[in-house]
Each structure stands twice: as C-alpha cells, then as structure tokens.
Structure 1
C-alpha cells in the first residue's frame, strides 16, 4: 500500500506464533480526522505513527504505520483465532459464543514443566510416542521439547520460586522457626533432608515454605546432619533470625542441635539458645501410642499386617 504523501514498505511480523492484534490510539481510522492526527497514549509504541486524514481506507484497520530507521513502513496486524463454545440457555435454543484464542509455545513449556514437578513424572515422558501424539492432537502448534530443554525449564522454575521465597523472607520482620526431618526413598534407599521455614509475615499471616530438599550421604551422623543444616541456614541468610529448630526425638538430633548451638552468635538466639531445640509433639505422641499398643496388641497387628501383605 502506498501513501500519496509518503512511500511505505509493507511488512509483516516474522514471528511464527499468533499474537494479539496491536491496539493503539491510532490503529483505527475515523471519518472526522480533519487535518489533525489522533493523539497517542503515553504507553503507546513511540515508533508507531498516527493515521492522518489521508488514511481513510478500511484497509488501514489491518495495518499500523511504523518508523523503522529513516523509512516509514506499514506493519500487518496478525489476528487471533476465534473458538466457539456452545451452551444451552435453559430452553430449546443453543447459544454460540466466540472468544479469541492465542497460543504461546513458552507458556506450554512452562505448564509442561509444572506438570512434571507436581506429579513427579520422569523427564523421559516427553520422548514417549503416546504423549507426543496426545499433545499434537490437543495443540498441533505445540512442539514438545526434548529432555534437556524440559530440565532447563524445571530449573528455571526452581530459580523463580527460590527468588520469590528469598524476597518474602527479606521483607519479613519476624523471626523464623525451622522444622527438619530425614526422609528415605523407598526405591533408592537414599536419605534426604527436608527443611521448612515457618514465620509470621508483615500482614500477620502464618507462612510456611520448604527451603531445601537435599540428599544427605551416609553415614547420617550428628556432625553430617549439622553441617548440611548449617549450610542451608546460611544460604538463606536466616542465621541471625532463628527462633527455634523442631526435630523428632532421637539422640542423633539432640547431638546435632548441640553442635548447631555453638555455630551461631551467642546473642543472636532467643534467650541465648534456650529455646533453639524444640521436640516434635506429634512424634512424642506417636511413640507413646506405639509403646502402649505394642505391649497389648502387637501379635494381632503383626498378623493383620501379614494378611494385608499376603
């Protein structure tokens, strides 16, 4: 399309993805321009030029005038797809509503990474023929990434979540309590330490965030556990804001807390560390119940468990 007053080059956006129509204050011509050009909003693209009284053709509803270097070009506005949903209005008639739909490859990759995280799927799921066929049926435009790309997406999500938790901890004025416990995987037989932070935010709302889920190599001695927990505390910069550490009732944890008490500044702990070690009430109650039931109905429980296993 050529303007009488200016020479325009017709260009289209080269991105393969479908984007929303560009909407600016000057994208739609009106019949009462006169000699004045429509004003652009403050947040409009400064490279977009307004339409003038010469641009009266309806074709300009599909183009925007842009300055590219020393040239003025017309950029084609891609349209979004319309998808219809049919619903009954309670009577015999059906109503059809149309809504614009826009596909984003990046958002699909983020949702795929979140699905793998939430449901603990293996990374090899992206290579499965059935999964790729299913994804192609749902969205032909979505390209299923490979395992390495999916791993990068997961690690990027981890970095985003970690930065969000770090910002929340930095803004919180209260002290932070920790709970930690060891967990052994059923298939790998490896020990993992879980560290969770509990605190009251500045809006007086109780918050809990998992800070670390890390592999702890054997042997799980008090020194090894203390070293890993100390590294976690220092990495989150909460060593001067600790209130207490809650652990279950085993002698290894008792020795671990004694080691940690010497690692932090004497004046940073509440009452010089008298309340640093908190024992898990749920674990105490569990030990009481097991001790009571074990002496009374141990044989019966063993037979029931054997029957279930059989």
Structure 2
C-alpha cells in the first residue's frame, strides 16, 4: 500500500499538506505532513516524514500520533524518560530568521514583476506545494541549481495531460459506482461575451464510501459555435459529455438533473428526472419583483432608481479610487445575480455617512442625490433573507433538498404584510408572494427530502392530509427498495429521442 501511495504522490493524485494552527497541536506535526487527495484535500489516512519521506498509516481517531513520535530519522537521537529513542528534532521547533524571510519576499517580488504574475500567487496552495517540494529537495541534497530541478514547460504539459487522464479514470469509476445508488448532476450554460464562446458545465453530486456528500466537476465543455442552442443540440452534448465518463445513454435515467428553467435546457432534459435550481428560482423571483413595466406604480419606479443610482455610485467610487478612503470596500453588482445586487446595496447603506464625507471632500456629493437612506435600508433588510436562502441552497458540501421546503415557507412568512409598511413595501411583498407561489413549486421529492431530515421529519409545516401523503410515498419507496433486485437490470429503457 505504501508503494501505491508513493506512486499517486508522484503522479499528483495525492499531495502533501502541512497541518497548521489548531490542527497541529502536537509537535510531531513539525516533522510530518499529511497526505491528502489533490482534488478536495480530503485525508487518505497516511502521513509522510518531511526529512526521510517515510510513510506511516495515520487515522487520528484510531492510531493517534504514537507511531510518528517513535519515528527515528537520521542519526540525531535522544532518549526520553521512558527510554524510547526519538529524533531530537521532535523537541526543537525550527525558526526561520527574519533576514531569510526577507530574502524570500524579495524573490517573490521579482517573480511577480518579471513573470507578470498577481501578488496573491504566493498565497495559493499550489505555489506553497511547489515551494515545500523545493525546500525538501534542498534539505536532502544540499545546495542545488534550480534549473537542474525545474522541468521544461513541455514536460509539465505532458504530465498535466497524463495526470488529467488518470484522475478522469478514477472519477469516472467513482461516478459509475455511485450511479446505482443515485447521483445528481447540475448543469449550467453561459457565454464568454468577450470571446463569444458558449460553455456548458456539468457537476456530479453523490454520496461517497464515507457517507459524505461529494461534489466533483465532471466537465466544462465548449458548445459548438456553429450550432444553435436548441434542445436537440444541447441534448446531444449532454449525451456526449456523460458518455466520455462511461455513463451510457441507457443509464442516464438514473441521474437527477438540476438546472435553470431555460426552455431549451428543460426540453433537452425532458426525458429524464429533472428539477429546477431553487437558487436560480429565487433570482428570478427578485428580478420580476423589481421589474419596471408600463403599469409599475411611481413609488416603485423610485425604488428602482435608487438601486440604479447605487450601482452608478459604486462604479464611481471604484474607478475614482475614492473607495480607499472608506472603512470597507463597496461591492460591484453582477447584472444577472441578485445576490450581488443585495450585497452592493448593503455595502452602500452600511457606509452611507462615510461615503457622503468622502464625496464631499472631492466636491462630488451630487452623486448621492436621490439615494434615500431610509428606503435603501428598508429594501435591503427585506432582501437579506432571500440572499441567505440562495446562498444556503447553493451549498455543495451538505444536503440542500430539505432546505427548499423550509425556505419556501420562511420566505412566504417574511413577505406577509407588516403594519406601517410604506406603499412601496406593500407592493414588493405582494409581488414577491405571488411570484414565490408561481415559480417556487414544491415537488414530492422536496417533501420527501424534508421528511428524511431528522429535525423536520414531523412535517409540521404541512396540513395533515398532505403530511400523510408524504408518509405513504415514503412507505411505498421502502417497499420498492426491499423488493428490488440486488443488481440492476441488464437493460434499461432507452430515453425517448429529443426532436431536432
């Protein structure tokens, strides 16, 4: 097993990670590093000595650090009180002199300037992995010329391709194993407006062997620019990309797809199990709530104007450099993401007085004309629960299916009329309530997900009749599970073709 771990370290499937802070309570972690999976930094249960590269099995809840403490590396040994021979470096914490750190800083500055790299490159995990690798080589072989160690760019390119192929095979095997128990795939399409290229991304979500939710990007593929984004063409791309991961068309029926509610993607997936992305639904609800139409009341037009003026203000603050005078930065909105719009409004309302003062010093106070603080605060406060709901349901490290029902009722409660509401808030609450009922449909799958969450299994948010229907459906699924064959059938019904 040790040889297998070494081979995967060499190929890049596994990487070395130094424990820091609270995770490195024992001094033994000064001498050892944890071996983790390169994709998600998850522990594989092995550690490696930083000096001699000896590999030990390590599971904190079983083996502890005793075997690591007994490890003897090199000739410097020390007997402890119990008579056990230990490496003296276990008792000495290496301290790098200030002038050495300064030399490294100078080298990093030169890297960024000569190679035109961003300053935060030195904060990346990848850079630190390379730096640690070079330090380890120096400690083992002494002073060596960097050019004799660093690979040619073509070598790096070739290794990247072979590593990608190996990792794809591992991920393909993992996904196909998970397929029989159930897997969800989220898919999204977007266009790079600068290069006019369209892309489709696929992310798989499944329960791994450790009973943890795992999310892995399956593919990010360019959509053929010569083709129209019809349901048929999108369907063909989905089939192709999943086939590359060993998922045959006949087995796609086992996948639960999640996407936005675009007509073309819905039509492309109509032969399969599908549900809408609730975070996207919330975005649509807010977009339509604040849309200005011919019959939109004047007071709502004023609210929309305030939001637009906040956007212009933030743009000016950033472009003029005035933002550096503020205690906190301001957030620029992304036109298609209401969460970013809420964050923008919040960043202005929290620093309203400070922004006023900074603009006054530049004789630019007119840029805040029409931005009424009381209206801005009221609307922002109303929008924050929608932002929280959207962010929670975008999580990919924990189940989110049960959150749909919970947030549906919570947001509807939040939208109920409040005594003393100004006219614009009466309108906003009514519009949001109507759109929540229209757009945020609650399916049986959502209800079952809530029932399977232990905290909410009583389903008190539903009426007795609806609650009993969910219980009946759960019993029916259990009976089907009990009567199902241990191995899946050899043939599965082919999905109906999507017309061109």
- Under TM normalisation by the shorter chain, which class is it? 0.3 to 0.5
Larger radius of gyration: 1
TM-score w.r.t. the length of structure 1 is 0.48
More helix by share: 2
TM-score w.r.t. the length of structure 2 is 0.31
More strand by share: 1
